Amino acid sequence: MKNSEFNVIGIGELLWDMLPDGKEVGGAPANFAYHAKYFGAKSKVISAIGKDSLGKEIISVLNNRNINYILNEVEYPTGTVSVKLKDGIPTYEIHENVAWDFIALNQEAIAALKTADAICFGSLSQRSNKSIRAIETALKLVPKKALKIFDINLRLQFYSNEIIENSLKEANVLKLNDEELIVLTKMFHLKGNQEAKCVQLLNRFNLNYLALTNGAKGSILFHKNNISRLTVPKVKVVDTIGAGDSFTAALVMGILYKKSLIKIHKSATNHAAKVCAHKGATPKNS
């Protein structure tokens, strides 16, 4: 696609997904940056790697995929996640005290953040105090008009009510799935059906957009008083790794391009379905 003038940043975990048949570079922010680039963004990933062979390999992969990055090297191992697949659905063992738990913003990162049109962040990368501070600072550095996307990505025990609530207060776009909505329902005492609960979140946190994905059942996109509902295109699912990240990237770029709600939604739905038809989060032909 034609390159745009939009500067888009993914900040947070950068790691190796250790899949049954080999390892793939992963982490929601990196996946997001990869797919935003597909839609024309000048995208960057801000994270941390270790001073080890896995860190060097990540840089090599990012270079090969033409993904721009701002990484600090730390005295902790490069992150890894052990992934098991059952019927294409992943389960994760996320290792702790790894490089992306120690993200720090250097001058290059600060300069990039000050010109960002959009920044995407999640909850997992906020499991450590150092990375929380980096993300909090990053959200204050981006321009006031920038999109601040909280792609919630709840993983195992790595979140708290405080992190979720603080993140929602900073965000103006929220992306979550049906299982995460159940968690937020208990957390914020939401009432009614899915759509009613999403509207409550929109209003409570003054969000501009909210995207709810329901796996094979489709997704719902909310913007002000408008709602778009779409089913999932029929594809042969290889795995669902990175599908949510690709959905988020297409959503963000659609908003930046000022597309209509239904066009934004169709683009996000179709792109995520295409990713599900390939192995890994960043298939080369996505």
The terminus-to-terminus CA distance of the chain in angstroms comes to 11
Task: With CA atoms as reference, report the closest residue to 192 among 275, 203, 26.
Answer: 203
281 pLDDT higher than 70: no
**Tokens standing for 13?**
């975990």
pLDDT confidence of residue 93: 87
pLDDT tens digits, 92-116: 789 999 999 999 999 999 999 999 9
238 pLDDT higher than 70: no
CA dist 176 to 35, 77, 78, 109, Å? 18, 29, 27, 27
Give residue 283's pLDDT band: very low, low, confident or very high (50, 70, 90).
Answer: low
Q: What is the rounded distance in angstroms from the CA atom of residue 286 to the CA atom of residue 65?
A: 12
271 pLDDT higher than 50: yes
Homologous superfamily of 7-276 in CATH? Answer: Ribokinase (3.40.1190.20)
Name the residue ranges covered by the structural domains of the chain.
7-276
284 pLDDT higher than 90: no
Cβ neighbours of residue 186 closer than 8 Å, sequence gap 6 or more: none
Least confident of 23-27, 60-64, 211-215, 230-234: 230-234
